[in-house]
Structure 1
Amino acid sequence: MSADPEQSPAEQGRVRRGEWPALLVSLAYFFCVLTAYYVIRPVREQLSAAVGSTQLPWFYLATFISTLALTPLFAALVSRWRRRVMVPVVYGVFVACLLGFMPFFAHQDALDARTLGIVFFVWVSVFNLFVVSVFWVFMSDIWSPVQARRLFPLIGFAGTAGALAGPVITRSLVGVVGIAPLLGVSATLLTVATICSIVLGRWARDEQRPETLDDAPLGGGMLDGLKQVFASPFMRNMAILLILADGIGTINYALLADYSGATFATGEARTAFAATVDLASNVFTMLLQVGVTWWLMPLIGPGRALILWAAVAMVSLALVVFASDAYAPLVGTMPAVAVAAIASRALGYGLAEPSRHALFTQVARSERYKGQNAVDTAVWRFGDLLVALTMNGMKTLGASVGGVASIGLAAAAAAAAIGWRLSRVRDLVTPVSRRT
């Protein structure tokens, strides 16, 4: 999709009068959501590093089953409840769960470490997908396609700032207060995000144009979202793109987990390393969003931005494929597997995610709330499982680190082709009202 020809490059990236109040609340909303997740993410990472990547398929299978069960429940919520009720309810459930985990981390004898580790890993993986998916579905519901191209990179920047703040909080507190209080910090941040969603819902009803304030229940059935993934050409392409992107991310994640497990002996050291990688990834993402994405996406459109992301992912994975020793320091103390993970993650969140979610603004509300959520949750976790099983199969056959990374390189090439198809998104969707 190309930029609006009636606007200059400067105007294409400009925030319009009347958008600032809602934009600032949206920035705070995403900042809190991502900070809440990244505060607890290193806790999950050290659990996966402790068991190694060969056990990840079992974790991913449990996560996929949990997500697949919850996706129809979410569809049922949006079918029957208005947006202003549904969003706070979803976040409220996750806040309650965070508070419920605190006693188990505070008193290690309340539940054996292995069971707690598995349950928490699966729960955090579900938590991440649903709180972020609900956020982006909400954004695509209150902002128009033209607004999305201008504002989503800025909103993504706020999320990256939160993803940067989370590891800083964790690194500062984990050695002093332990893990349990970190869950309380995460719950507090998610509560603030819930308040932001309520404020934005009121703004959408009171200030926006009539076509943007539809808050009615969607009706339909629990399985509508999963059906849309197969029935809609646009949703099919978005699902395939996400599986490919997930393949790239999961391969980098697993290679990094193996490196961490082989290099660091304690859970604290692995947690600190995971936080360092998160910190580096998010600094890179913020620089990208400030220097590139905010003006590039209005100029070339979200589909072509996805092509650029896929090309950079290919280059980063080629570093691992052709490295003589993927665990040897390449940039500072970081080995090739860490450099590839940082670059891939930064481009994924800094360029691909705002572009992908901007495309969803062009479909009907039912597809945004049901199909988009199904893609962002059940399809994503199916991709985790598929890629993890593929990697384990390759390792059983004796594949090297570079051999495993080559799968990710092939996935990036395929993602570039899907990005090209999505750049012609008008051929794949039934047009909705063109809001400005």
Structure 2
Amino acid sequence: MNSPRPTATGQAHAPVLSAVAFFFVMAGYYIIRPVRDQLGGAVGAQALPLFYAAVLLVMLLLTPLFGILVARFPRKQLLSWSYCFFALCLLAFVPAFVAQDRIGARSLGMAFYVFGSVFNLFVVSLFWSFMADIFDSAGARKVFSLIALGGMAGAVAGPVITKLLVTAIGVAPLLVVSAASLLVALALLLSLSGSQQRGAGADQPLGGSIWAGIKELWSRPFLRYMAILMLLGDGIGTLAYALMADYTKAHIADKVARTAFYNDIDLYTNVIGAVLQLTVTRWLMMRHGAGWGLVVPALVNLVLLLGLALVGTGQIALFGYAVPMLAVTMVGSRAFAYGMTKPAQDALYTRVPRETRYKGKNFVETAVWRFGDVLVTSGVNLFGMLGVTLSGMASVGVGISALAAWIARRAGRAPDLAPDAPAKP
């Protein structure tokens, strides 16, 4: 049964608290993201299918567990247990990173890559499910880009913190800083949850089947579109990531230097994403609807991949600097994904029932996403064995981006979406 959800559009403190909480969520993740990525860069793209397959297996095992938690426990307990669990896991990894050279990048990389990916997907997905629970559609289009901006600020602060600390204290202590940031976010979300009780059943267990997230993938057109779009969009991002892993393995041998390199990629990505959220994203969603926030990034990816197909591994002149086209593609595709696609997706989820927002959304953004990672990285390795060049892979990506733009337009007009209320000034 779906009970009416509370709307927070009229309360000024809710968007502010949400943005600050998301700042700490993303700062905590981006402090450890370069740590995770340097392990991937140490082993190269050939190991990524194995990493992603392990993540997918864990996601499939966690899906029914998450369904049980959502069905039986209120959102306060769900938030508390999930965030505390990941904070404790971060602390448990500290001794392993102290002994990284003895354990080996491949073994530690497998374990931490699985954890880091699960951490990111569950913590962020749960945050936005909660946001879709307390804001209505009109409010979401008005404030989600600004809440996402808080997260983008955290995503900028995280790499800055890492860059300042990694050479001074090393890699392992960064995990403690990340855990502390996550717990601060939890405290803010619990405060926000306690103040948003308007609407019967807003903080009650959802009930229903633990497999509802999987079942709804076949019964809801909107969720099917989002799953396909997740696979296509992830294909572009994972292609760039896999190619970058080979680049760093070939050119950057030191783990601290690799961490700093990936840190810079994240920093530039998040600065551009923040600019998008401050300017284009909110205007586009308010004026033309959230659906167009899915279409535009797909078109941008198409242009970037055309450039990569033409230039390959070569460099282009950008603001007076010679920059590898691969880095430009990776930064550009990620910036639009975080700065436009994500707020638009989450605004559309306000127009579906609560069970879909938690169970269906979580399944698409965890298991489906990681299935795409396995598929794409395996394809990249296969193309490499067949002698397909980077330009050839980018040309395939152009076709994927065109298809993604078409699917994105259909997703914004899915027949099972609730009517969209006009946004208030």
Length-normalised TM-score, structure 1: 0.91
The aligned residue for residue 306 of structure 1 is 294
The reply to whether residue 172 of structure 1 matches residue 160 of structure 2 is: no
The aligned residue for residue 421 of structure 1 is 410
- The answer to whether the Cα contact below 8 Å between 2:138 and 2:420 also exists between their aligned partners in 1 is no
Q: Equivalents in 2 of 1:433, 1:333: separation in Å? A: 47
Q: Aligned-pair distance for 1:107? A: 3.7
For the residue of structure 1 that corresponds to 2:93, the secondary structure is: helix
Count of aligned residue pairs for this structure pair: 415
Q: Equivalents in 2 of 1:259, 1:111: separation in Å? A: 24
- The answer to whether the Cα contact below 8 Å between 1:363 and 1:431 also exists between their aligned partners in 2 is no
Greater CA drift, 179-188 or 409-418: 409-418
Counterpart selection for 1:315 from 300, 303, 328: 303
Q: Equivalents in 2 of 1:267, 1:196: separation in Å? A: 34
Change (3 A) 1:265 1:109: closer
Specify every segment of 5 or more residues in structure 2 that has no aligned partner in the other structure, as ranges: 1-7
What does residue range 357-396 of structure 1 map to in structure 2 within 5 Å? Answer: 357-396=346-385
Q: Equivalents in 2 of 1:139, 1:17: separation in Å? A: 11
Counterpart selection for 1:66 from 46, 58, 79: 58
Q: Equivalents in 2 of 1:71, 1:115: separation in Å? A: 25
The reply to whether residue 221 of structure 1 matches residue 209 of structure 2 is: yes
Task: State the one-letter code of the partner of 1:184.
Answer: V
Task: State the one-letter code of the partner of 1:249.
Answer: G
The aligned residue for residue 12 of structure 1 is none
Counterpart selection for 2:196 from 197, 204, 216: 204
The aligned residue for residue 140 of structure 2 is 148
- The answer to whether the Cα contact below 8 Å between 2:46 and 2:381 also exists between their aligned partners in 1 is yes
Q: Aligned-pair distance for 1:326? A: 1.6
Q: Aligned-pair distance for 1:158? A: 0.8
- The answer to whether the Cα contact below 8 Å between 1:244 and 1:412 also exists between their aligned partners in 2 is yes
Q: Aligned-pair distance for 1:330? A: 4.3
For the residue of structure 2 that corresponds to 1:215, the secondary structure is: coil
- The answer to whether the Cα contact below 8 Å between 1:79 and 1:217 also exists between their aligned partners in 2 is yes
Task: State the one-letter code of the partner of 1:27.
Answer: A
Q: Equivalents in 2 of 1:91, 1:139: separation in Å? A: 16
Counterpart selection for 1:138 from 130, 143, 147: 130
The aligned residue for residue 398 of structure 1 is 387
- The answer to whether the Cα contact below 8 Å between 1:45 and 1:274 also exists between their aligned partners in 2 is yes
Counterpart selection for 1:411 from 392, 396, 400: 400
Specify every segment of 5 or more residues in structure 1 that has no aligned partner in the other structure, as ranges: 1-15
Please list the CA deviations of residues 197-219 of structure 1 after superposition, one character each: whole Å capped at 9, or x if unmatched: 101111211xx4x26x6111111
The aligned residue for residue 95 of structure 1 is 87
Q: Equivalents in 2 of 1:270, 1:408: separation in Å? A: 26
The reply to whether residue 326 of structure 1 matches residue 313 of structure 2 is: yes
Q: Equivalents in 2 of 1:229, 1:374: separation in Å? A: 9
Q: Aligned-pair distance for 1:179? A: 1.0
Task: State the one-letter code of the partner of 2:272.
Answer: F
Change (3 A) 1:86 1:296: same
Q: Equivalents in 2 of 1:192, 1:72: separation in Å? A: 28
Q: Aligned-pair distance for 1:407? A: 2.6
Counterpart selection for 1:231 from 215, 219, 225: 219
Q: Equivalents in 1 of 2:261, 2:396: separation in Å? A: 25
Counterpart selection for 2:273 from 282, 285, 289: 285
The aligned residue for residue 4 of structure 1 is none
Q: Equivalents in 2 of 1:257, 1:356: separation in Å? A: 28
The aligned residue for residue 185 of structure 1 is 177
- The answer to whether the Cα contact below 8 Å between 2:39 and 2:105 also exists between their aligned partners in 1 is no
- The answer to whether the Cα contact below 8 Å between 1:277 and 1:342 also exists between their aligned partners in 2 is yes
Task: State the one-letter code of the partner of 2:315.
Answer: A
The aligned residue for residue 70 of structure 2 is 78
The reply to whether residue 44 of structure 1 matches residue 36 of structure 2 is: yes
- The answer to whether the Cα contact below 8 Å between 1:285 and 1:346 also exists between their aligned partners in 2 is yes
- The answer to whether the Cα contact below 8 Å between 2:284 and 2:290 also exists between their aligned partners in 1 is no
Q: Equivalents in 2 of 1:117, 1:389: separation in Å? A: 18
Q: Equivalents in 1 of 2:243, 2:104: separation in Å? A: 27
Please list the CA deviations of residues 370-396 of structure 1 after superposition, one character each: whole Å capped at 9, or x if unmatched: 000101111111111111111111111
Greater CA drift, 305-314 or 132-141: 305-314
Change (3 A) 1:327 1:266: farther
Q: Equivalents in 2 of 1:27, 1:156: separation in Å? A: 7
For the residue of structure 2 that corresponds to 1:160, the secondary structure is: helix
Task: State the one-letter code of the partner of 2:235.
Answer: G
Task: State the one-letter code of the partner of 1:76.
Answer: I
Q: Aligned-pair distance for 1:432? A: 9.9
Task: State the one-letter code of the partner of 1:51.
Answer: V
Counterpart selection for 1:296 from 263, 276, 284: 284
- The answer to whether the Cα contact below 8 Å between 1:330 and 1:336 also exists between their aligned partners in 2 is no
The aligned residue for residue 333 of structure 2 is 344
Q: Aligned-pair distance for 1:305? A: 2.1
